Amino acid sequence: MQTDIQARGFPLTKALENHVRHRISYTLSRAVSRIRRVGITLSDLNGPRGGVDKRCLIQVRIDGLSTVVIEDIQSDMYTAIDRAVGRAARTVMRRLALLNSRRRHGTTRPEYHQSTGL
């Protein structure tokens, strides 16, 4: 699993980078074989003005499925990271479970019915 971390509007400290890597590897460990890439963009929307403006945007690319995109905005960057990573992991696991269920039961996406247009 390739992990790419970017910071916009502030310097990415080693402590923050380590926190992100640890949380990502821990929460997505069960699905690591299916995940191609995780992109994390951290940004401070208001800069030095403060407020609820620390954003964590996560994009998870999964083999055979659409990209999972999660965003969380909080006043604390660590909280935004923790919440976004948790939501991303739950979404990834839900999508993989649905895919596995479809494969087990031999169902795929509904086919396009030419006569009805559905």
- The tens place of each residue's pLDDT in the chain, 118 residues long, gives 899 999 998 899 999 999 999 999 999 998 888 899 999 999 998 766 666 689 999 999 998 888 999 999 999 999 999 999 999 999 999 998 888 776 666 655 544 444 444 4
SS3 at position 86: helix
- The pair of structure tokens assigned to 46 is 């208001």
Encoded amino acid at 75, one letter: S
Neighbour tally for 87: CB within 10 Å: 16
Q: Please compute Rg for the chain using Cα positions.
A: 17
pTM for this one? 0.80
- Provide the residue ranges of all domains of the chain, joining segments of one domain with +: 2-104
How far CA 116 is from CA of 24, 31, 38, 46, 110, in Å, comes to 44, 38, 40, 51, 13
Q: Locate tokens 């494969």: which residue?
A: 103
- According to CATH, the topology of domain 2-104 is Double Stranded RNA Binding Domain (3.30.160)
